[in-house]
Chains A and B, each alone.
Chain A
Amino acid sequence: MKLVMYNNYQLGLLQDGGVINLSESLSDVNAPTPQDLVNAVIADFEGTFRGRIEEIASKGQPIPLDQVHLRSPLPRPGKILCMAANYLENGALPEPKPINGFLKSPESVIGEGETVVLPTVHEAPVFHHEAELGVVIGKEAVDVSAADWEQYVFGYVNFNDVSARGLHPNSFLWMKSHDTFGPLGPWLVTADEVEDAHNLQVRLWINGQIRQDYNTNDMAYKLPETIEWLSSIVKLEPGDLIATGTNHQGLGPIQNGDIMEMEIDGLGRITVNVKDELNREWHRGVDTDIADWVAGRSSEPPAWARR
């Protein structure tokens, strides 16, 4: 199933003919906010809501997709947990780096057609896109074992961990958590529609030019280890998002006026804009300095990391 949020945050089911409204038929669900409704559906999906949604869909009248305004399907996840440096960089690294992660602000999320706004008061030397496979948690997970990982996954979504670089002190909060730094969408795809989460092509284009183009088979700590590790630290809850990290080969600066498109096999394409009131300009194209540094081909960090 593909779940969407649209217009004034109505929950919908995406089918071939368009979007079927679910919110009206699910008005009995106690959900003060749109995210609460998604969380409720996710938390009892197999027990209740898959059946209810199929029933609603069998009677519903789809609205053509081009007539709705899509929103982020997780407007405000309870938590966003990001994995750091979690790719082998197309196999360039002989072994994974030590496992590491961070929290990203749930307020950073934006959806299809929205705009990443670069902050003007923080003088980051550059801002990057980071295309990532997003994993949506389906049920509460505390200290779970790697072998059971699939039970805890509700589905998958495109996620872009937009990042500011070189801020001092070098901390995740202001590198990663700015409002609008979390494009997420265009829809949630349930896990049963994704045959192998570890063999998906992830692509990101800036103004039509391909930048990132990698496969999730290059992931260093794959989902079993990632979920085991994260759940040993924090309680994962329905509707929480895990961003599984990016492959740095292909990162590049984002700047005013850019159109950023991202697509993972089977998860649809999300398009967002970039706005910078200061109109700062950076090199256009791939940032080979960060690519070579992270892959270990160069011991010289990018200029922004040397400040």
Chain B
Amino acid sequence: MKLVFFNDYRLGVLKKEEDRVVDMTLALEEIPRVGPGDYMCRLIERWNGFKVRLERNAIDLPGIPLSEVQLRAPIPKPGKILCMAANYLENGYLTEPRPINGFLKNVSGVIGDGDTIHLPAADATVFHHEAELGLVIGRKARNISEDEAYSYVFGYVNFIDVSARGLGPQGADTFLQGKSYHYFAPMGPYLVTADEVPDPQDVKVQLWVNDELHQDYSTSDMGHSIPKTLAWLSTIVTLNPGDVVALGTNHQGLGALQDGDKVERESPGLGRLTNYVSDPRKREWPRGIDQEMADRVAGRI
């Protein structure tokens, strides 16, 4: 099932043909919620009680054309966004995974399809896109084993971990300044339930800037697998329904983001997420792939 928010954060499900969206507002009336921020998380918590109803409505009701709605981020304010750091083998260049590592990203930085990444005025050396597979937690997880890890997954979503470089003390990269600016968490266009992703460890992750393909890798290159990642995270923090785990990026293909750019992010079955970039300072960086970054992370220089 493909879950969306649209217009004034109405919750909907795409019809099988993926060209129309069925408004589920009435079917979900009884879900307690404060607003768009917690709505999807509360539905995920109660998924077993609503799944059949949503499936049936998606078949029975006509819906409205997708082209006539404005899509919103499917989880506008997750409880947590946990990102994995340096979690790819860089197309096999690294002989073994680096020590497992992660960080928290600002939950108020989420934007959805069609939204704009406004670059902050801060003097970053560069702003990069990091295309990632986002995983959404389905039920509370604490100290879980790798064997049972997938049973805690609700679904998947396209995610971009927008990053500013060089903003920490002494020009270092630190995670708050590097990862958590306003608008730095594009997500969407849909939240796709796990049953529609046959092998999460072999998903093609692609990202284009102004129609030029920048990132194009498979999650088969991941350093610490999804089960290992979830088990590790759950030894630190309790994972809750609607929490997002961004599984890290392959740095081969990162590039600068700058004023006027159009960024598109797609994985098979997860739809295409389109965002725009605005920079009031109109800074300019080399266009195309950042080869120095790619070589450095892969250990070629």
- Measured CB to CB, the residues of A under 8 A from B are 30-32, 36, 39-40, 78-79, 81, 97-108, 119, 121-122, 142, 168-169, 171-174, 177-179, 232-235, 237
The answer to whether B180 and A233 touch across the interface, beta carbons within 8 angstroms, is: yes
Docked complex Cα distance between A179 and B42 (Å)? 22
The answer to whether B182 and A233 touch across the interface, beta carbons within 8 angstroms, is: yes
Min CB–CB distance A48 → chain B (angstroms): 16
Could you list 15 further interchain pairs (A-B, Cβ under 8 angstroms) beyond the known A105-B237, A171-B101? A32-B42, A36-B38, A79-B107, A98-B169, A105-B236, A106-B79, A119-B235, A177-B236, A178-B236, A179-B238, A233-B181, A233-B182, A234-B109, A235-B106, A237-B108
The answer to whether B120 and A233 touch across the interface, beta carbons within 8 angstroms, is: yes
The answer to whether B176 and A101 touch across the interface, beta carbons within 8 angstroms, is: yes
The answer to whether B238 and A107 touch across the interface, beta carbons within 8 angstroms, is: yes
Min CB–CB distance B206 → chain A (angstroms): 28
> Please, which residue of chain B has its CB at the minimum distance from the CB of A100?
B169
Docked complex Cα distance between A205 and B301 (Å)? 50
For A234, the chain B residues whose CB sits under 8 A away are 106, 108-109, 176, 180-182
Tell me whether A102 and B175 are in contact in the complex, defined as CB-CB below 8 angstroms, given that A32-B32, A173-B104, A232-B122 are known contacts: yes
B177 interface residue (CB < 8 Å to A): yes
The answer to whether B106 and A233 touch across the interface, beta carbons within 8 angstroms, is: yes
Interface centre among A103, A105, A171 (most CB of B within 10 A): A103
Tell me whether A103 and B99 are in contact in the complex, defined as CB-CB below 8 angstroms, given that A122-B235, A233-B180 are known contacts: no
> Please, which residue of chain B has its CB at the minimum distance from the CB of A101?
B176
Min CB–CB distance A44 → chain B (angstroms): 13
The answer to whether A104 and B235 touch across the interface, beta carbons within 8 angstroms, is: no
The answer to whether B175 and A107 touch across the interface, beta carbons within 8 angstroms, is: no
B15 interface residue (CB < 8 Å to A): no
Docked complex Cα distance between A253 and B176 (Å)? 27
For B108, the chain A residues whose CB sits under 8 A away are 78-79, 234-235, 237
Can you list 10 pairs linking A and B with CB atoms under 8 Å apart? A32-B34, A39-B34, A98-B169, A100-B174, A105-B104, A107-B240, A122-B235, A169-B98, A232-B120, A235-B109
Docked complex Cα distance between A235 and B33 (Å)? 21
> Please, which residue of chain B has its CB at the minimum distance from the CB of A229?
B177
> Please, which residue of chain B has its CB at the minimum distance from the CB of A103?
B104
- Measured CB to CB, the residues of B under 8 A from A are 32-34, 38, 42, 77, 79-80, 82, 85, 98-99, 101-109, 120, 122, 142, 168-170, 174-177, 180-182, 235-238, 240
A-B contact count, CB below 8 Å?
A: 109
For A232, the chain B residues whose CB sits under 8 A away are 120, 122
For A105, the chain B residues whose CB sits under 8 A away are 80, 104, 236-237
For A233, the chain B residues whose CB sits under 8 A away are 106, 120, 176-177, 180-182
Which of A78, A122, A142, A168 meets B99, CB within 8 Å? A168
Min CB–CB distance A144 → chain B (angstroms): 13
Docked complex Cα distance between A117 and B262 (Å)? 47
The answer to whether A177 and B237 touch across the interface, beta carbons within 8 angstroms, is: yes
Docked complex Cα distance between A5 and B9 (Å)? 31
Docked complex Cα distance between A258 and B106 (Å)? 33
Min CB–CB distance B119 → chain A (angstroms): 13
The answer to whether A103 and B176 touch across the interface, beta carbons within 8 angstroms, is: yes
For B42, the chain A residues whose CB sits under 8 A away are 32
Tell me whether A103 and B105 are in contact in the complex, defined as CB-CB below 8 angstroms, given that A233-B176, A234-B180 are known contacts: yes
Tell me whether A36 and B34 are in contact in the complex, defined as CB-CB below 8 angstroms, given that A107-B237, A172-B103, A178-B237 are known contacts: yes
> Please, which residue of chain B has its CB at the minimum distance from the CB of A178?
B236
The answer to whether A179 and B99 touch across the interface, beta carbons within 8 angstroms, is: no
For B122, the chain A residues whose CB sits under 8 A away are 232
> Please, which residue of chain A has its CB at the minimum distance from the CB of B109?
A234
The answer to whether B240 and A171 touch across the interface, beta carbons within 8 angstroms, is: no
> Please, which residue of chain A has its CB at the minimum distance from the CB of B122?
A232
The answer to whether A171 and B180 touch across the interface, beta carbons within 8 angstroms, is: no
The 10 closest A-B pairs by CB, nearest first: A98-B169, A32-B32, A103-B104, A235-B108, A234-B106, A105-B237, A169-B101, A107-B238, A101-B176, A173-B102
Docked complex Cα distance between A119 and B234 (Å)? 11
The answer to whether B79 and A171 touch across the interface, beta carbons within 8 angstroms, is: no
Docked complex Cα distance between A36 and B35 (Å)? 11
Which of B34, B98, B105 meets A31, CB within 8 Å? B34
Which of A31, A97, A174, A179 meets B142, CB within 8 Å? A179
Tell me whether A106 and B80 are in contact in the complex, defined as CB-CB below 8 angstroms, given that A179-B142, A234-B108, A234-B109 are known contacts: yes
The answer to whether B102 and A171 touch across the interface, beta carbons within 8 angstroms, is: yes
Min CB–CB distance A176 → chain B (angstroms): 9
Docked complex Cα distance between A169 and B79 (Å)? 25
Which of A32, A40, A97, A121 meets B169, CB within 8 Å? A97
Min CB–CB distance A66 → chain B (angstroms): 31
> Please, which residue of chain B has its CB at the minimum distance from the CB of A164?
B236
Docked complex Cα distance between A174 and B170 (Å)? 23
> Please, which residue of chain B has its CB at the minimum distance from the CB of A231?
B182
Docked complex Cα distance between A16 and B144 (Å)? 45
Which of B80, B169, B236, B240 meets A174, CB within 8 Å? B236
Which of A32, A104, A142, A168 meets B104, CB within 8 Å? A104
The answer to whether A103 and B106 touch across the interface, beta carbons within 8 angstroms, is: yes
For B77, the chain A residues whose CB sits under 8 A away are 78
The answer to whether B105 and A121 touch across the interface, beta carbons within 8 angstroms, is: no
Docked complex Cα distance between A121 and B102 (Å)? 16
For B80, the chain A residues whose CB sits under 8 A away are 105-107
For B177, the chain A residues whose CB sits under 8 A away are 100, 233
Docked complex Cα distance between A39 and B77 (Å)? 15
Min CB–CB distance A43 → chain B (angstroms): 10
